Amino acid sequence: MHTRSLGPFTVTALGLGCMNLSHAYGAPPSAEQGEKVLRAALDAGVTLFDTAALYGFGANETLVGRVLKADRGRITLCSKGGMGGVKGDDGVTRRVIDGRPESILRHCEDSLRRLQTDVIDLYYLHRWDKKVPVEESIGAMSRLVEQGKVRTLGLSEVSAATIRKAHAEHPITAVQTEYSLWTRNPEIAVLGACRELGIAFVPFSPLARGFLCDAVHDVTAFDAKDIRRAMPRFEPAHYAANLKLLPGYKALAREAGCTPAQLALAWLLHQGENIIPIPGTTSVDHLREDLGAANVKLSADLLQRLDAHINQQTVHGHRYSAQSRMEVDTEEF
């Protein structure tokens, strides 16, 4: 497996995003299937695993902790706090962003217990709580480092300005944000800030939530709880326009001698040595396909044509709803 540097850690160039084993795209797979995917990743040599308190409201961390416990010493384990589930008076658990120092400390303790580990290698602030100065949230996280409960810190879905403020409070090891051929927002300022400050960049949803692996054709068939139902790009009118990009994209994949999914991941790997994508999947076969992207070499000409074919001007619709756009702190095209 090819490797890259993630702060003090040497990790595989492609990690595993564990979210959809418990969360987001409709009914999650069984715990048995989730375990199969995690074990297949271990067997393939993957050393970077990414989860969060939010995913399945703790269920994902519980699964990851149980399955990976025996191999804890040979992996880099990442999780996120500052956003999770809170049960209301009506008994319904809802997503809440909470970056108060006391909440951050409590979230970490809960994650450590579910993950069955004494320390989290990379702990992200999942969302910046705009009611709390980011320096206060990062200050609390730095105390976790001092206590030996966390080794390094990261940020998710933040702007270049916020990265600089946080990094001045405590060194930031990684920034995690959506990035793919069809989501280029990090190119505005975040990628430059990360390069300048020596921060690794970890793209999530590198396969455009299924679009770039040619897996989504009928958006009306989404499960009622599928988060893509609230994303403008997957609204029928926008998606019909986006589907017109696929034939040309698949032709470029054939030219590169790889699958569409591998082309999307290879494009990301070619954007810089500090970039470490974390594709997720519920399928062992798709996992193995994704990992093959590390061996795909793309010419400068093919990269240029890819850039021209799928970019912020050719994709229709925002990536997030208006409400979700208010919750993130990223530069937007």
User: Catalytic site residues?
Assistant: 55
Backbone angles phi, psi at 93, to 5 degrees: -90, 130
- Residue found by looking up tokens 């591998």 in the block: 262
- Residue found by looking up tokens 């070499």 in the block: 297
| CA 63 to centroid of chain Cα atoms | 18
Rounded to an integer, what distance in angstroms lies between the CA atom of residue 174 and that of residue 194?
8
DSSP assignment of 61-114: HHHHHHHHGGGGGGSEEEEEESEEEEE-TTS-EEEEE---HHHHHHHHHHHHHH
- Positive or negative CA dihedral for 135, 140, 145, 150? negative
Rounded to an integer, what distance in angstroms lies between the CA atom of residue 23 and that of residue 228?
12
